[in-house]
């Protein structure tokens, strides 16, 4: 399937959505950290998800993931 739109592309949005859906599964792999909130922004050119975490000491942390699809090379 050729990508006709990249701002954002359907694949970028689907991939970002999958990270939101897999929140509990991702959390299992974060040693001594718990995901307390997710802020997805799926409408921007490169969809972004901000994960708010709290570690075992109660300290807050933020991780931002941006999804960027490289243009197709056909």
At residue 17 the predicted structure's pLDDT band, cuts being 50, 70 and 90, is very high
* pLDDT tens digits, one per residue of 26-62: 999 999 999 999 999 999 899 999 999 999 999 999 9
Contacts of 70 (CB under 8 A, 6+ apart): none
Give the per-residue pLDDT at 70: 87
Prediction pTM value? 0.86
> 7 pLDDT band (50/70/90 cuts)?
confident
């Amino acid at each position: 399937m050729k990508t006709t739109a990249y701002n954002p592309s359907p694949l970028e949005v689907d991939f970002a959505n999958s990270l939101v859906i897999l929140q509990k599964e991702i959390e299992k792999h974060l040693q001594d950290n718990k995901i307390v909130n997710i802020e997805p922004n799926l409408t921007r050119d490169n969809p972004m998800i901000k994960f708010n975490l709290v570690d075992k000491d109660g300290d807050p942390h933020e991780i931002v993931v941006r999804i960027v699809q490289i243009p197709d090379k056909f």
